[in-house]
Structure 1
Amino acid sequence: MKTTWALGGTFAGVSGAEMVAEFERNGASGLVLALERYGVDFTTLSALLGVFLLLGLTHRWGQVFPRWAPPLTGRRVPRWLPLVPAWLGALTLGPYGVAATLLYLLPSAAGLTDLPDKEPLAGWAGWTVAACGIGAFAVYGTALGVAAWSYQRRTRPVCLS
């Protein structure tokens, strides 16, 4: 969605320029507006960090610092370093995404509640944009929980006694 907007396209009938204009109307700073024009905002940066965390939980460099991380190259990654943000993310984002799907998306889709009415994200366009974000939270939170559980099991200390 953000990439489509950054490349000048429209998503759910909403253009990137309309989103930038909405940010501007809401009083966003010059830096935020400049980044938003390229499809980069807080959520995009958070998603990139989240992907990095998921990769670290599932790859060897998440257990031993790789050569591209001097001066830590070759040292073990402290077990808590990826697990704390992973479990915090899993325990907040996953339930949020699932609850928002059940309480906001499904009732709106079934016609039980009204669709968003604030432009530029009014009607089904707003619902679609919300569904992408909420769905991403549900999927990412679940994936983070599975990856954290796996990492925790693979890195648990071995009792020698």
Structure 2
Amino acid sequence: MVAAIWFSILLGADGFVISLGLGPLVAGRKRYTAAAAFGVCDGAAIVIAPHLGSPLASAMSSWADRALPMLLIAYAVYVAILTLNSRALAGGRAGWLLLPIASSIDNLAAGPLSGSTVPLGAVALMSAFISAAMSLLAFATTDALQKSVRLAPERLAAAALLVAAALRISFV
């Protein structure tokens, strides 16, 4: 069980890092929606993974390792451009709803590893809960940081997303 908890924490780390970047953009109840999206995507990927062939899961994982940082950089540039029109940035949610899907692709390769002594459904639920909790923690951290740093939320988000992309690239 302890291994499954660590497994879930490690798989939820990318959602945590991305949520640090999204924090200034996602306010109020949208934070719960975004955190739930990270949790649902991570949990669903673990359930889907054993049903995929091992070569397909490995190929998707290696593709995700290269695509996610590029998606983060592209979204950070998009956020930086939209800082001129912050209403458009606050109103749009298609971008930040795609990030949980992209960040859970690596769970497809790790999903078969979860089939230890803990049932797959339990691991998926635990992973979903831990991922959502880590995302909410990142949003709270960003909220505290935003109060102490005098920087426009959109600019802070763009900078944090670029840092998230750099962290993701460095761990690949």
Q: TM-score, normalised by structure 2?
A: 0.29
**Higher Cα Rg, which structure:** 1
Higher relative contact order (CA 8 A, sep 6+): 2
More helix by share: 2
